[in-house]
Structures are given as structure tokens and as C-alpha cells.
Amino acid sequence: MTLPSSLPDPASSAVAVDEPKARASKSSRVPAGLGLAKAKPRGVAKKPGQVALPTPARLHFLDRDQSILSFNERVLSWARRPDVPLLERLRYLCIVSSNLDEFFEVRAAAHMTAQLSNDKKGAYTDLSFAALSQRVHALVDEQYQIYNHDLLPALEKRGIKTLAHGERNVRQRAWVRDHFVREVQPLLVPVGLDPAHPFPQVANKSLNFIVRLAGRDAFGRENEIAIVKVPRFLPRYLAMPAAKGSKQQHFVSISSLIRGHLVDLFPGRQVTQFSQFRVTRHSDLAVDEEEVKNLRTALRKGLQQRHYGQAVRLEVSAGCSEFLSDFLLQQFGLPPEALYRVHGPVNLVRLNQLIDLVDGPSMRFERYLAGWPSQLNAGQSFFDRLQQGDVLVHQPYETFESVLAFLREAVEDPNVLAIKQTIYRTGARSELMELLREGVRRGKEVTAVVELKARFDEEANINYAERLESVGAQVVYGVVGLKTHAKMMLVTRREGNRLVRYAHLSTGNYNPGTAKLYTDLSQFTADPLLTQDVEQVFLHLASQNRLPKLHKLLVAPFHLHKTMLEKMEQACHAALAGQPARIFLKMNALTDEALARGLAHASQCGVQIDIVVRGACILPAGVKGVTDNIRVRSVIGRLLEHSRVFRFQIGDEDLLWLSSADWMNRNMLRRVELAWPVTDPHLKQRVIDECQTLYMSDTRDAWDLSADGHYVPAVVEHSAKGRALPAVSAQATLMARYGRKG
């Protein structure tokens, strides 16, 4: 995808290596004793006989937030693709809107504050706010262009239409009015603004109307502004009854339904202007863990205020008058750049409800049925199978049900004495949580490490923690100042006169819902050394005692960051000595400056580096003299890329880790993360084939990062006769390989 020429060049807003953006805060401090090994001076050989490393060339990082927006531009490209089913194209439009909501909720407040204070220095400035605003406005405009000019006409050709008030016939208007009077009007409370009725609290991302009125109220006053808040629980789209014999599918949106009957809410007054509006607020919870006595209680209080944080974006209808938009900007304390005039619904995310209402299987992806893991036999005991060797599962190509089956067997097996589990995101209705509760009821020692600060899942995790505690499970909340992001399960079983451990490790969450959409790798193992390491990590999280020396696991914030830097340096020495030196990385984000700097230096030493990074990446690729030997690509497909793979080929060594961690500062230094080695030759080769070879060969869903910071679609390969070869999709290939038929 070529970015519009009017957008800022991501490389132009880069920062130099010697001008780091990180700023110290309580939440970002590295706990005592977790410091990395001090950097060794470059140009000096570490060991006798080694070639001295060259001085690193000057590197300019790409802007992280611009990179996040670039990722959303790549996602939006799926809404344009004619080979994607129509309703799925509409769903990608919703995904971009949901991503932008989170971007504003989490990333925009610092830029907004800098703009309001006219800050010219530091990590965030008025210029950074202006650059982001310009790019987001262009992205939103493109969204609504696709919505209005591509998707709506295509849906209408299929007989699917959301009818505006003026498009409804007499019968339809009567149905809409009846529904409004019975189901909606009793729930609406119009608030006329005056000194006794100030501007009401408007919740984050809620749908509202602002109305300008003529005439006088019941007390003879001319208060002209009123606000109507729309309850969240009201469905945003309704299917209208079809005419007899008609195959047309007609719908009405809640905003159109209310808009058509606003006058009914203000009897005796004239509605002269109105607009729907939606405000997005900063929603990242900030709790000083060093000051609170009970983290769970403090988070519950914080959740009550989340919906009313600092306003960062205002969306209104395109036809909203300047009088009303200026009034709203003033009420929310926002600059003009924070105003988004949209040609359609102010919340495209809610179009998901419309997609679910439409009857049209041919307009959706063909249902994918994940296969049972190829290394497992249905009905075979996991414990018997793992005594023969480790098992690798590639989700969602292979089903997550195998993980639930493992836990289910552990709960039902009378020889299992203890189950330990980390909980980060498990979904709203989790069978896994019910299995843990059942394990307690059956007399097993169940320990759950619940991360209460999993963003936007805090309330669900608090509820799960309380439910587990209510039946007697041991619940701990990890380490103060760190999020527990590691994904691990440990089962201890009595076998004869000894205790045997079995573990499950994963790059992704224990969430049956997202496990159908996210690509992740997980591993079952009975390896005594690896399972002993897992046991030690659980003990560390519960007791907060020092972590002993581990055999195989790398744990952040202790070892992972340091080890990755050391391996890059070893690769540098190998390349300079003429030995094989290659690095392959697959992750969701690459924003840690030290690691990015290490990769650039490795490139300058001659190390060949391939990186598959889904989202934000601050490391430019192919910059002459700096990152010549680095190739960065992003794969955007039907599934969300989520697995993390780190491979280092250094001389005769070929090391491969799977991990829960991205290469971000927060993952490496402010979270508890795991990376574990894949040492079984067959499993290692499978990871290489499915995550490296296949993804680096993708020519349908891949984008390559250019030296100027832009992403371009991967080049389709051609035959010797110049004919374009069939495009390769890594995801489609794996779905065909592992999916069940029928």
C-alpha cells in the first residue's frame, strides 16, 4: 500500500539513537537487581583472537505511534480487497475503528497534553500531536470513503441496506415509530442545559446527541442546548420486517431511529440543529502499586473512573454546525485538531452488530474447522504421550481444545495433586476458570497467578480471582511493579513413589475465543529440567524470593533482554570471523531501543537478519550503511499474527526460542515474561518451516518495510518466462494443511 503523499513521512519524525524517548516514571523503573550488564565499549575485542567490533553507525528510529497508524493502514487494505468476502471487508473496517479507539485511549493523552501546553521539547510535543492528527484524519477519511463508496453500494446490490428516515416507506416508518415509542423513548432522558443543569458527564465512547432548540421551555426561558444520552445496552442496529415475498434485508440504526424522532423528545420546542457525537477518553489505569495496600481494591475504584478520563477525541456528524461542534470542543477542553467530522455512524465498531444480523453465508469467510494437533491421538492420555516426547501445537490451525483437554484430564485424574496456572486474558466466559474451580473441589492444590492489570480485562480478572478464592484456590497477583504476562501451566502428578511435573507453555493467552483468531505456538512438555524451571518461576511469583539459576527458561526482567543482546553480539563476532551468522525474529512489536540498536549494529557487522513484525516497528530496514542486511516485513491476514519466535544461527549453533514477549521495553523490563528453547530437532524444524520459511515466502498478505519507513506490498515472484507465479499466503497454506474437512 502506498501512503498518500500528503501524509508525514514516518522517517522525518524519527529520533536519533542518542536522543532516547524513554522517560523515567514509577511504572517504568527496573526493580533493584534487574539491571542489564553494562554495555562494553565498541571497537575492543572481548576475547583474544576475536575481531574488534566496528563503531555503530548513527541510526534514526522510526516513530512508534506513526508505525502503529501504519499498521492500521495495512489492516484497512483488507476492506478494499475484492478477493475478501463482502461482510468480512466491513468487519476489517470495524477492526480499524476498534484499533483507533484503543490508540486514542492509551497513546494520545501525552501528545494532547503537549499540544495544550505548547510543549516544544521532549518525547511528546505540539508537533508530534499535529503529525498524528493529520495522519489519523486521513485514515478516518479513507475509512468512510470505503464505507460509503465501496461497501454500502456493494451491500445494496445484494439487497442489504440500512435505511435512513427519508428512505423508509409508510409501513416502515410506522414500524420504526412504534419501536421508538415502546422500546427507546422511555429510556431517553433529554437534559436541557442551564445553571441548574450543567453539561452532563458523558462516558467514554458512548453515543449521544446534542440538540439546539428554538422557542422557550416550560418556564419561559430560552435555554437552547440539550443533550440526549443513548444507553449502551440498546442494540445499535435492528432488522426491519421484510415485505411478503421480498428477499431484501433492511435495517435501521439506533442513531437514525432517534434522529427521526428527536422532536418527540422536546414537545413545544423547535429542533433547529442536531448532531450525534462521541467522545474518546484516556482510559489507561494508573495505580501507584507502591502506595496501595490492596491492589484489587484500588483497581476496582479506578475502574469506576475509567469511563470519565481526559477527553482526547471528539467525533460528530459531518453536517454538525460549527456552533455545536465549537460548543462541544469547549466543554471537553479539546483543540480543533481533535474534532473528527464523519460521513456516517460515529462508531463504526458497532457495525459488527449489523454484520451478525445479515443472512449471507457467501459474504463471509468459509468456516474454518481447526484440526486436532497432529502429534496427539484423540483419547490418548496426555501424561502417557508426554513421556514419549514434547508436543507442539500451532494455533488456531490446530485446535486450542487440546489445551482444555489437558487441563480437564489433570482435574479428573486422582493422581494429580497440584495445578498451577497464570491468568492474563481468558475471556468473558472461561471453561478454563471453571475447570480450576472444579480442581479445588476435587481436593487438588490449585494456584492461580492472576494479572489484575491486564489492560481492559481488569474487571474480568478481578471477578475471576474472587471466584477462585471463594472455593479455596490460592490466588496471587504477581510482583509489585511488574505485569505477569508469562503464559504457563504446571501439573504435578504422583506416579508410583515419585512426583512428575508436566507443563504447558504458550506464546498466547489461555482464551478460547481469541485462540480461534490469533496465531500462537504452544508446547506440552514433561522435560524434567524445563518443568523444574517452570516450578521455580511459580514459586518466585508467589513468594517473591530470588529466582535461582534456571536450566532452560529465560525470564524477563532478569535474563531475556540481556541474553538477546549477548546473542546479537556473538553473531557480530561470528560474521566478522567469516562464520555463519543469521537472525530470524517473529513478534508483534519491535520498539525497544537497545534491542533495535543491537540489530542495526549486527547488520553493520554482516549478520543477515529477517524480521516478521505485525505492528509497531521503530527499526528502519535497508538503510545504506546502517541496516543494509535487515529485512522487515509485516503479515496482515485473516488471522491476527501473535506468535513470537527468536532464532539465532551463530557458527555451529542454531538456537530457537518461543516466547510470550515482544521486543518492547515494557515486555523486557517491566513484565514477567518467558522464553523457552525448542530443542527437539523435529519440533524445531517444524517451527522453522511454518514460521520462518513460509512467512518469508508470503507474497499475498505480506508487506515489506522500505528504508524511508513506508510499507509496500510484497513483490509477486515470476517464472523464468516472466509470468507471475501464484501468490503464496502463509496463513492460507497452514489452514489448508491442518484444517478439518467438512
- Among positive and negative, which fits the CA dihedral 117, 121, 123, 129? positive
- Amino acid identity of residue 716, one-letter, is V
Nearest-CA neighbor of 168 among 157, 155, 183, 179? 179
Contact residues for 48 (Cβ-Cβ < 8 A; gap 6+): none
Give the three cell numbers for residue 123.
518525547
Question: Do the Cβ atoms of 627 and 603 come closer than 8 Å?
Answer: yes
Give the three cell numbers for residue 418.
497440584
Residue-wise burial string across 415-436, b where 16 or more C-beta atoms lie within 10 A, e elsewhere? ebebbbbbbbbbbeebebbebb
- Amino acid identity of residue 333, one-letter, is G
Per the DSSP assignment, residues forming a β-bridge with 350 are none
Question: Do the Cβ atoms of 399 and 373 come closer than 8 Å?
Answer: yes
CA dist 335 and 59 (Å) reads 34
DSSP state of 362: G
Give the three cell numbers for residue 283.
482510559
Cα pseudo-dihedral 457, 463, 469, 470, rounded to 10: -160
CA dist 344 and 652 (Å) reads 59
The three-state DSSP-derived secondary structure of 71-128 is HHHHHHHHHHCCCCCHHHHHHHHHHHHHHHHHHHHHHHHHHHHHHHCCCCCCCCCHHH
Active site residue 485: yes
Helix axes 86-116, 126-146, angle to 10 degrees: 160
493: left (phi over 0), alpha (psi -120 to 50) or beta: beta
Contact residues for 389 (Cβ-Cβ < 8 A; gap 6+): 680
Catalytic choice (111, 394, 485, 710): 485
List C-alpha distances in Å: 543 to 104, 314, 712. Answer: 37, 46, 49
**Strand 391-395 relative to strand 483-484, pairing:** unpaired
Helix axes 458-470, 431-441, angle to 10 degrees: 20
> 3-class DSSP state for residue 449?
strand
- Amino acid identity of residue 426, one-letter, is T
Contact residues for 556 (Cβ-Cβ < 8 A; gap 6+): 661, 667, 668, 669, 671, 672, 673, 674, 675
- Among positive and negative, which fits the CA dihedral 510, 514, 517, 518? negative
Question: Do the Cβ atoms of 184 and 254 come closer than 8 Å?
Answer: yes
CA dist 133 and 131 (Å) reads 5
Question: Do the Cβ atoms of 283 and 101 come closer than 8 Å?
Answer: no
Cα pseudo-dihedral 96, 98, 100, 106, rounded to 10: -150
Burial-class residue 340 by CB neighbours within 10 Å (0-12, 13-18, 19+): buried
- Among positive and negative, which fits the CA dihedral 338, 343, 347, 349? negative
What is the set of active-site residues?
485
